[in-house]
Amino acid sequence: MTVAAGATRPRGTIAAMTTDTTGTAARDGEPRSGGPADSPFVRACRREPGPHTPVWFMRQAGRSLPEYREIRANVPMLESCRRPDLVTEITLQPVRRHGVDAAILFSDIVVPVAAAGIDLDIVPGTGPVVAEPVRTAVDVERINPIGRDDVSYVDEAVRLLVAELGDTPLIGFAGAPFTLASYMVEGGPSRTHAKTKALMYGDPELWHALCARLAEVTLAFLRVQVDAGVSAVQLFDSWAGALSEADYRRYVLPHSAHVLAGLNEAGVPRIHFGVGTAELLGAMGEAGADVVGVDWRTPLDVATRRIGPDRAVQGNLDPAVLLAPWEVVEGQVRRILDQGRAAPGHVFNLGHGVLPETDPEVLTRVVALVHELSARPAA
């Protein structure tokens, strides 16, 4: 299989980049800038003004793209995450196609847990499935610490990508302890998280031991990505919205805070994201985020009041809106940019991942529209 950037190259940022003699990439015709740390995306995360509101999409690499489906046709999900050539190509596909302001590493939240020794697979149409769910103290001991050598393919992929991306920042990511614990305890995806909550309320000591282990795995996984050169990280606590604020603060926040604090010295912005987290937005910020991800249920001006002036926000177009007529999409993009002006920094995104049935042309149009509507004249 050919993974080299070939046929579809000419579209976005990547195609237009040249490398100067210092090794810093610059776009044709533009003065050389300060690299990804000076990009619109990183500036917005830091609550600094920039030339436009940056935009990227959760799950921008994936089944909405024909070039993704083609390259993944005969490669199982976990295997594709362990092949740096595939990771690099799949990560670059949406950057080329849409001209988004950031790339996100192609991987999955269960990759480091598999590297830690838990037997699991990602089943198409279902999600992660764990062979022997983690429910006892002995089970928790099966989650081994990880280091660079256990995920050397991620280290390698990030280095390849950073070299390829030039000024475009690469976002690294990991799953937060609660969301990972849910997959480990349930054995697979769950709507109610009933077994997870039963363990959390029924045996808090075991719960905290499990989350502490997962937090170490997550932190180590993020450190590998930071050391290899990612410009920001996102901690996905997708299912945290299943908890009340009080329970979130008691059972989850300390573990996520441990992960985020462990990156204090890394110097890269930390995005903290979950779904259905309207009541948790303040707490998720307090856990140590620089940017809080907001789903479509909470308008960004309301979210900003809950999160406070010290953090930027990311979001929050409903992914299903991308299936509506363009006039509807345009109206919602305008509304979100308006409400985002209340925030000290705004990264445009969806409220959750791109749906597989999304027309990629609509994503490309949204990127162009966000850039056009938010363009600020140079100071």
Which residues are known to be catalytic?
59, 63, 72, 108, 183
The kind and range of the H/E element at 123 are strand 120-123
63 binds ligand CP3 (CB under 6 A): yes
Distance CA 98, CA 223 (A): 29
Q: Pick out residues in 335-364 that bind ligand CP3 (CB under 6 A).
A: 353
Nearest to 58, CA basis, from 316, 308, 291? 316
Q: Does 297 bind ligand CP3 (CB under 6 A)?
A: no
Could you say whether residue 127 binds ligand CP3 (CB under 6 A)?
Answer: yes
Q: 40 to 59, contacts with ligand CP3 by CB under 6 A?
A: 58-59
Strand partners, 312: 291
59 is in an annotated binding site: yes
Residue with tokens 């005969």: 74
Q: Which two tokens stand for residue 318?
A: 């409903």
What is the contact mask toward ligand CP3 in residues 75 to 94, using x (rule: CB under 6 A)? --x-----------------
* 312 membership: H or E segment, kind and range: strand 312-317
Cβ of residue 183: shortest distance to ligand CP3, in angstroms?
7
Phi then psi for residue 18, to 5 deg, are -125, 155
Nearer to ligand CP3, 26 or 281 (CB): 281
Q: Cβ-count burial of 181 within 10 angstroms (0-12 exposed, 13-18 middle, 19+ buried)?
A: buried
237 belongs to the binding site for ligand CP3 (CB under 6 A)? no
Tokens of 270: 């930390």
Q: Minimum distance from CB of 333 to ligand CP3 (Å)?
A: 20
Locate tokens 């037997």: which residue? 119
Binding residue for ligand CP3, selected from 236, 248, 296, 348, defined by CB under 6 A: 236
CA atoms within 13 A on the CB side of 282: 9
We find the least distance from the C-beta atom of residue 243 to ligand CP3, in angstroms, to be 15
Q: Is 231 annotated in some ligand binding site?
A: no
Q: By the criterion CB under 6 A, which residues form the site for ligand CP3?
A: 58-63, 72, 77, 104, 106, 108-109, 122, 124-125, 127-128, 173, 179, 189, 236, 238, 353
Residue set of the binding site for substrate: 59-63, 108, 183, 238, 352
